[in-house]
Structure 1
Amino acid sequence: MLRLLIVCGLFAGSFLFAQTPNEDLKKDLKSFLENKSFPELLNEFKQETIQLTVTGRQERSIARRPYHMQDGYRCQVFAGTSLPSAEKIANQLKALNLDSVYVLQDESLFKVQVGNFQQRTDAEALLTQLQNAGYSGAWIIEGDVRVAKSEAEQQAIAEQENKLEQQFSSEQNYYYAIQVMATVDSEKAKQLSRDMELRTQQPVQAAPQGSIWKVLVGKFNSRTDAEQLLRELKKGGF
C-alpha cells in the first residue's frame, strides 16, 4: 500500500503534465518513464524518507518493563508439585521483608526463588541469611534475573512510547477508549451512556458494531492516558 501511494504521488503531476497539447512533450515523457526503473525514479525524485516502525504487542510490553533480563543468581528455597505449599513459603519469605520473591512454574514443579543478583557473592550472603532464618535446604541457582533499568532509561522509553502512539493515532485517525459495556440491547447501552455522562467529564458514546452495542468512554491519543482512566473506572466499580 505504501508503494502504491508513493507511485500515485510521484506520477500524479506527470499525468497532469502529459495532458497538455504538446505531443512532443508527451512522447519525451513516455520515453523517459519507460527507460527508468521504479527504484531509479524514487531515488531521483523522492522528497522525503518514510520510515515505518512496526513492533508487536509482546515486544512493546517487554520494552515497557522497568528491568532487563540478564544472567545472574538467585536463591531457591522450594521446588515441589504443590502450589499451595509454594505460595505458603513465598508468603513467609515476604514476611521477612525480603525483596524479589517469586513463585515460578517449571512444567509440573513449582519453585520459590528469591533475589536478583549479578554477583554470586551477593547470592551467597542472602543464602546465609535464609539458612539462619531456618531455610537450611535453600541453595543457589544460576539463570535469568531482573536488573532494574535506570530512571533515565525508563523515562526515555516512556517518552518514545507516547511519541509513537500519538504519531500513529494522528496519522491513522485512531484513538484509545475504554469499553464499559457490550450488549445486544440498544436501550441498555444508551441508558448507561447517559449515566456515564453524568459521572465523568470524558466523552461517552453508545456505538453500534454489527448486532452489538458498545459503550465507550474517553478519546485519547496516548495509551498511557487511557490506562489512567481505566484504573479510575475500575475504582468506581466498572
Structure 2
Amino acid sequence: MWPTCFYELKPFNRSLKDELPQFLVDTFYRNEIKDLKEMLVPIRVVTLLGKCSMDKYIDCPNFPEWHLQNSGASMGSLIDYQYLAEIGRYYWFEFDLMGSTQNPMPFRIVFDEGDADCKDGIWRACWDRNTGEIVANLKSVGDCVTEIEMVSKKPIQAYKPHNAWILVFAEKEEEDSLPDNLLPVDMLYAANLELEKYIGLAIRWCWFLDLSK
C-alpha cells in the first residue's frame, strides 16, 4: 500500500517530546492565553517516520504539474531525477487528532516543503493510517500558499468540533507572524473546517521538529 521509499526514510533532526513546541506556547502567550490548561491543541504527534527526497516518490498525489513538466515525467521522456532531488523533501509522520467527545482519529501525513525558488506551497495528502484511505488533499495553489481539503466524509461526520480558538498562522501582519523556524507558507482551508485547520497545525509542528535545533 505504501511506496518503496516509505521503508527507506531518513530520520528527523529531532526526536519527539511530550511538551508543546515553544512556537505554539509563544503564540498562545501573544494572544493572552497564558495558562497551560487553556492551551487547547488536540493533536498528538505519534511518530516521526522520516523524510526522503522528491525523486524517491514521483507518483505521489497532488504532485504540481509544473514540476512534472520540468522533470519530463509528464511528457513520456527521460525523467530528470536530479532536478526532482533538488527541489524539496517529503516529510512523513503520524498523529492523532482528538475531537471533543470521541476516540482519537489516527492519521498519517506526507507533505513536501516545496521549492523556495518557485514559491511553492506544500502538497501531498493525509490518510487514515489504519485503512490507507486518503482523507485530505494538500495542494500548492499559489505563491507560498497551500490548500487543505477534506475529501472523505467519514472523518467529517465523526469529528466533534471543540469550537475553541485555534492557532492559525499567516505571514500577514494582522495575523500571527511566522517565526523563522516555522513553515513559511499560508494555508487555505477549503471548507473552513476545524479538521482542516488542525491538519495544517500538525504539519507546521512536524516541520518545526525537523528544522529547529
Regarding TM over 0.5, the answer is no
Bigger CA radius of gyration: 1
**TM-score tier (shorter):** under 0.3
Normalising by structure 2, report the TM-score.
Answer: 0.18
TM-score under structure 1 length normalisation = 0.17
Answer 1 or 2: higher relative contact order, Cα 8 Å, separation at least 6.
2
